[in-house]
Amino acid sequence: MNIGPLDATIVVIYLIGIIAIGLISSRRQASTSSDYFLAGRSLHWPMIGLALFATNISTVHLLGLAADGYRVGLVVGNFEWMATFFLMMLGLVFAPFYFRNRISTLPEYLERRFSRGSRMFLAFMAVVGALFIHIGLSLFAGSTILEQFFGIPVLWSIVIISAATALYTVLGGLKAVVVTESIQTVLLLMGAFCVTFFGMRALAEQGITSLSDLKAAAKPEQLSMIRTEGDFPWWHMLAGYPVLAIWYWCADQTIVQRVLGASTQRDAQLGPIFAGFIKILPLFVMVLPGVMAYVLFQEQIGDNPNQALPTLIDQLIPVGLKGLIAAALLAALMSTIAGALNSAATLVSIDLVKNFHPSASERTLLMIGRITACAVMLLAMLWSTQGDKFKSVFEGGNMMIACLAPPISTVFIWGVFWRRGTRQASLATLIVGFVLGATAFTLDFPLVGETKLITNVWGIPFMLQAWWLFVICSILFVLVSLVTPPPSPEQTEDLCWKNPLAVIATGEVTGLTDPRVLAGILMGVMIVLYVVFA
């Protein structure tokens, strides 16, 4: 790619600046485990919302959403728009329990609701998710970008990115992560808007000036959000996406840790809803550019959709702005990795070490957390070399989530709405579900060759795999609960909703800024958008 000295200078300045900001912001904040892992519970809703978005939107999204926009079209934007409904669920259903019980980790919630065994196993599963999904694939996507921009070999790209991110994350804790994520959210959105703007200008130069013109130039149904067949038909999305999303948005430590660090319950609830409004944007600034790449550069990109975004940047973006966009891509990458590293450190220190050794000192917990972050980073670097096994990095991430999420989503959704759920059912569901998911991933991961046994031979795509795993886990959870002693009232007090309607009926509405009112407004906006783009 044609990268000049000015663009390279902008990227270097960004790297130095973000590391400095991360270290300075946490200089007086990481003296205790609460400071290090939860930012001293001092976060307010704007920062929580921005940090949720930044942790979610990694280079996997920027690269992968453009790739899938090129490959299949706007339908992949359902992964972004449907997330708004589960961010509302986080804010209205789960955040009140998390905040009122002052939990430090999501496995801690499972211990209070079910048992210590559930806490231990969920902590293990969460570290696996951080390593393989949040960090590993993000490193692969980032190394692809650096190789395209600067010609840096993939291995060296991985080392550079890992070292830069780990420096302020390992030393600074959650405060450093959230402060830098807030800055990075603004930067990555600026970069995404630039790509979209110059893409639209290039389309206009080709005589494509309206939505109907773009639809005529694109593949059939490439601009349709809802499909009945092909990739991601509506019933696959409706069945499988909630399974992925309940884990990712409501029960994944990497994401929810920002909510656990909230200053007040109102902040804990408004932050996710604010993030839900921001999640409307990726369809227009991350998926749509992939469609533009197909119309403008189909012959140049060919059958390699991962080249959609790099080609747009190389062909359309002027000198100076390329550096800004490269910095935005690095911002997206580093924010996700930083969040996952901090959550892995939190899980090991709080859920494993402190649980087995309650007398462990603050200094010991901080040291173990930092060692954990370094170890997870090294393992993720090794796994990141396998990213090219997937059609697109975005699909690869969701395939792994489809195998990991079902048992966790089962335990959390049944646990919060069904008081009869028992500790034996929780542990059995987590263990059996994890084994089934790992087996499914092994059968479907083309370690040798390109054949995916479950997807290609049995004809069950990953979204339906997630659904059927959830069904199996739910049946197991209910059956085991019914044949084991019910939990005591104390074990479910303030840890379960009495009924689903209590989510919106409990307490008086305090005005326009009430989380329930804002969630209702967001729901209305999403309904209108789906009607327009269906």
Q: The whole model's pTM is what?
A: 0.82
How high is the pLDDT of residue 172?
A: 57
* Residue 203 within a domain: yes
For residues 22 and 4, what is the distance between their CA atoms, to the nearest angstrom?
28
Single out the residue of 268, 339, 251 nearest to residue 37, CA to CA.
Answer: 339
Sign of CA dihedral 230, 235, 238, 239: negative
- Both tokens of 116, joined, read 């210590």
Single out the residue of 282, 358, 367, 223 nearest to residue 57, CA to CA.
Answer: 282
With beta carbons less than 8 A apart as the criterion, state whether 34 and 42 touch. no
Q: How far, rounded to the nearest angstrom, does the alpha carbon of residue 392 sit from its chain's CA centroid?
A: 16
For residues 195 and 16, what is the distance between their CA atoms, to the nearest angstrom?
24
Between the two ends of the chain, the Cα-to-Cα distance in Å is: 37
Q: What is the DSSP letter of 161?
A: H
- Burial class (CB within 10 angstroms; exposed 0-12, middle 13-18, buried 19+) of 205: exposed
With beta carbons less than 8 A apart as the criterion, state whether 347 and 155 touch. no
Going from the C-alpha of 493 to that of each of 100, 401, 416, 520, the distances in angstroms are 12, 31, 11, 28
* Residue 11 within a domain: no
- Residue type for position 269: Q
Single out the residue of 54, 78, 53, 296 nearest to residue 195, CA to CA.
Answer: 296
How high is the pLDDT of residue 274?
A: 94
**What stretch of H or E contains 434?**
helix 423-444
Single out the residue of 244, 251, 249 nearest to residue 398, CA to CA.
Answer: 244
Q: Which residue has the tokens 């550079």?
A: 160
Q: How far, rounded to the nearest angstrom, does the alpha carbon of residue 77 sit from its chain's CA centroid?
A: 14
Number of H helices, E strands in the chain: 27, 0
* Residue 481 within a domain: no
Q: What is the DSSP string of 308-324?
A: HHHHHHHHHPPTTHHHH
φ and ψ of 375, to 5 deg: -65, -45
Single out the residue of 8, 485, 461 nearest to residue 231, CA to CA.
Answer: 461
How high is the pLDDT of residue 167?
A: 66
For residues 526 and 394, what is the distance between their CA atoms, to the nearest angstrom?
23
* Residue 509 within a domain: no
How high is the pLDDT of residue 271?
A: 92
- Both tokens of 408, joined, read 């966790």
For residues 27 and 459, what is the distance between their CA atoms, to the nearest angstrom?
53
Number of domains the chain is built from: 1
For residues 377 and 159, what is the distance between their CA atoms, to the nearest angstrom?
10
Going from the C-alpha of 222 to that of each of 79, 81, 240, 282, 305, the distances in angstroms are 16, 17, 21, 16, 14
How high is the pLDDT of residue 430?
A: 95
Single out the residue of 114, 44, 91, 105 nearest to residue 503, CA to CA.
Answer: 91
Question: Which residues, including other chains, have CB under 8 Å from residue 316's CB and lie 6 or more apart?
Answer: 195, 198, 199, 201, 202
The alpha-carbon radius of gyration of the chain (Å, integer) is 22
How high is the pLDDT of residue 359?
A: 75
* Residue 468 within a domain: no
How high is the pLDDT of residue 423?
A: 93
For residues 181 and 22, what is the distance between their CA atoms, to the nearest angstrom?
9
**What stretch of H or E contains 145?**
helix 137-150
* Residue 105 within a domain: yes
Domain, as residue range, for 94? 44-383
* Residue 126 within a domain: yes
* Angle value at C-alpha 87, between 120 and 285, nearest 5 degrees: 120
Q: Where residue 75 sits, what CATH number does that domain have?
A: 1.20.1730.10
Sign of CA dihedral 397, 403, 404, 410: positive
Single out the residue of 3, 2, 7, 4 nearest to residue 321, CA to CA.
Answer: 7
For residues 9 and 96, what is the distance between their CA atoms, to the nearest angstrom?
45
How high is the pLDDT of residue 386?
A: 63
Q: Which residue has the tokens 């601009």?
A: 223
For residues 310 and 203, what is the distance between their CA atoms, to the nearest angstrom?
17
Single out the residue of 223, 208, 293, 203 nearest to residue 72, CA to CA.
Answer: 223
Sign of CA dihedral 412, 414, 418, 424: negative
Question: Which residues, including other chains, have CB under 8 Å from residue 267's CB and lie 6 or more apart?
Answer: 43, 44, 45, 48
* Residue 463 within a domain: no
The ranges of the chain with pLDDT < 50 are 30
With beta carbons less than 8 A apart as the criterion, state whether 62 and 281 touch. no
Single out the residue of 475, 45, 515, 90 nearest to residue 263, CA to CA.
Answer: 45
